[in-house]
Amino acid sequence: MEISVLQRARYKYEPKLPAILSGAVEEIALSLGDASGSAGDALAELFKHSYGKPIAGFIKGKNEKMKRPLTVGVILSGGQAPGGHNVIAGLYDGLKKGNDASKLLGFLGGPGGLLEDKAVELSGEVIDKYRNTGGFDIIGSGRTKIETPEQFAAALETAEKRKLDAVVIIGGDDSNTNAALLGEYFTAQGCATQVIGCPKTIDGDLKNEYIEASFGFDTAAKTYSELVGNIGRDAASARKYWHFIKLMGRSASHIALECALQTQPNVCLISEEVDANKFSMGRIVDVICSSVVKRAANKENFGVVLIPEGLIEFVPEMKQLIKELNDLMAAHADELSGISEFAGLGSWLENRLSPESALLFESMPPEIARQLLDDRDPHGNVQVSRIDTEKLLIGMVEKKLSELKNNGTYTGKFSALAHFFGYEGRCAFPSNFDADYCYSLGFTAFALIACGLTGYISGVRNLTAPADKWNPAGIPLTMMMNMERRHGSFKPVIKKALVELDGKPFKTFAEKREQWAAETCYCSPGAIQYYGPPEACDQPAMTLILERGN
């Protein structure tokens, strides 16, 4: 594989570690806090062997257990996020620092690799080819869920056959919920294999009072912010286009909010605010049109609008339409399979949707309406991420502006371009923050394993301080869970962290957006910097700085 000059240089970057992890491993001692709790008795019943464990930290002290040889398996689960390779590198280096006879096995293609016993031993030579680089290509990822009795039994068989001391699952909220269940199962079956999770997702929705950030968010948000900043500068130069930019974030708007704080667009929609205030599509269009009209009055017929990927799921009438479509298409799958023409599907739906939903469906641009019908997941549900929300809003804004022009309240020009930034950010070279953070998460996972813990997620705290002042920790996975109704029954889940409307990041944005809506205030943060002064290269995300009060 050909490598770039930057990639060759990044191989040589040495990630920074918390001070407690930087010395001799036999001087890393375990420190346990008080017993933990969570949502209640249902979880205690479900996790009989792992509920109520204490938060784990590390202090300086003698600990010969850190030097014992270990065989550990590692799994990348779910979508890619910058820094995953450094988690594996940190885990590998920790294992080898503890005992050169230790082995790290990479299970191929995600959790399915564990079930099918498809693994490779990761050598130092292989690890060195992936240090500080983006992607998950070292072992690949997958979205298999370990949920049936047969799957749990297959995982147990692999763990025992391979004589695994531990499995590390690198993933998001669902993957780490799976890790908790797998750890509980192993213990219940008398299997000594430990299970440790690691918090990953560019969406930034795996965080709480114990986990300050999910890895990959910092890099992805900075990558998108560079692109948004470039577009803002282009818009101010060309002075003739409104750019509608959809950004990744299916359930949470953390990426959109971070990019707004970084780049200062004219409009940034926040799904959580739309949901809390029950904004209709009409209200959303009015917000955008208000900015267009104000700017046109200043002869500025250009602008930037940021849109979270999952926005339409939070709009009440769209939510209702999607629900009705999902229900109808699931209940009448055989009947619908015989209707091939889009016009025929529209006619069939017209008499079956509620009057409000039928009117909304009819008002949509044909290409958007077609996406609602054609793009279905394996369960028959609308794939919201594939809907061109940015194009839908452009069409609705154009229609509203035409009405304003007819009544004389708008005299400007409106020409719009649509963008979607998604995959561009998932496998970028990790920022120094993510490179350091991920390496520390991997090394912390080793420390938790060496200390004999299972059912924990690797955590690193105090992230707005310099890396040597970071605090590695182990958080009991059950401590972050609650019971939620999923598909008709209650299941344990790690709740997604949404944008908090009373939190400092959103409030900081809200204080500025009226000014940004009317004036040209674009910031261009530029490309991610890897070499130079710490204030240019090592700073974490603005939302994290605001959340931590620094």
What CATH number corresponds to the domain at position 289?
3.40.50.460
- On whether residue 547 sits in a domain, the answer given is no
pLDDT, tens digit (0-9, with 9 covering 90-100), for 446-462: 999 999 999 999 999 99
User: Which DSSP symbol is given to 312?
Assistant: G
* Separation of CA 316 from chain center: 24
Q: Are residues 419 and 319 in the same domain?
A: no
- On whether residue 46 sits in a domain, the answer given is yes
Last residue of a domain, one of 360, 386, 412: 386
Q: Are residues 174 and 258 in the same domain?
A: no
> For residue 369, how many other CB atoms are within 10 A of its CB?
19
Last residue of a domain, one of 327, 362, 386: 386
- On whether residue 10 sits in a domain, the answer given is no
Q: Are residues 361 and 470 in the same domain?
A: no
At residue 549, the pLDDT reads 80
pLDDT, tens digit (0-9, with 9 covering 90-100), for 65-117: 999 999 999 999 999 999 999 999 999 999 999 999 999 999 999 999 999 99
Q: Are residues 417 and 331 in the same domain?
A: no
At residue 327, the pLDDT reads 86
**518 pLDDT more than 90:** yes
- On whether residue 9 sits in a domain, the answer given is no
At residue 377, the pLDDT reads 62
Name residue 235's amino acid: A
List all residues 6 or more positions away from 162 whose beta carbon is below 8 Å from its beta carbon: 71, 73, 105, 117, 119
**214 pLDDT more than 60:** yes
Q: Are residues 409 and 322 in the same domain?
A: no
Q: Are residues 278 and 353 in the same domain?
A: no
Q: Are residues 169 and 236 in the same domain?
A: no
**127 pLDDT more than 70:** yes
- CATH number of the domain residue 366 falls in: 1.10.10.480
Active site residues: 203
Average of pLDDT values for 515-526? 97
- On whether residue 56 sits in a domain, the answer given is yes
Q: Are residues 65 and 148 in the same domain?
A: yes
Q: Are residues 85 and 51 in the same domain?
A: yes
Band of the pLDDT at 531, cuts 50, 70, 90?
very high
At residue 42, the pLDDT reads 85
- On whether residue 13 sits in a domain, the answer given is no
DSSP, collapsed to helix, strand or coil, labels residue 341 as coil
DSSP, collapsed to helix, strand or coil, labels residue 63 as coil
**203 pLDDT more than 90:** yes
Domain count, the chain: 3
- CATH number of the domain residue 108 falls in: 3.40.50.450
Q: Are residues 189 and 60 in the same domain?
A: yes
Region of poorest pLDDT, from 198-202, 268-272, 470-474, 531-535 = 531-535
Average of pLDDT values for 473-481? 95
Residue reference for tokens 């020009």: 413
What mean pLDDT is reported for the chain?
93
Q: Are residues 35 and 171 in the same domain?
A: yes
- On whether residue 45 sits in a domain, the answer given is yes
Rg, the chain, Cα only: 25
At residue 1, the pLDDT reads 64
**402 pLDDT more than 70:** yes
At residue 138, the pLDDT reads 98
List all residues 6 or more positions away from 106 whose beta carbon is below 8 Å from its beta carbon: 73, 74, 88, 113, 119, 120, 121, 122, 138, 139
Residue-range definition of the domain harbouring residue 504: 220-309+388-426+496-528
- On whether residue 545 sits in a domain, the answer given is no
Q: Are residues 371 and 443 in the same domain?
A: no
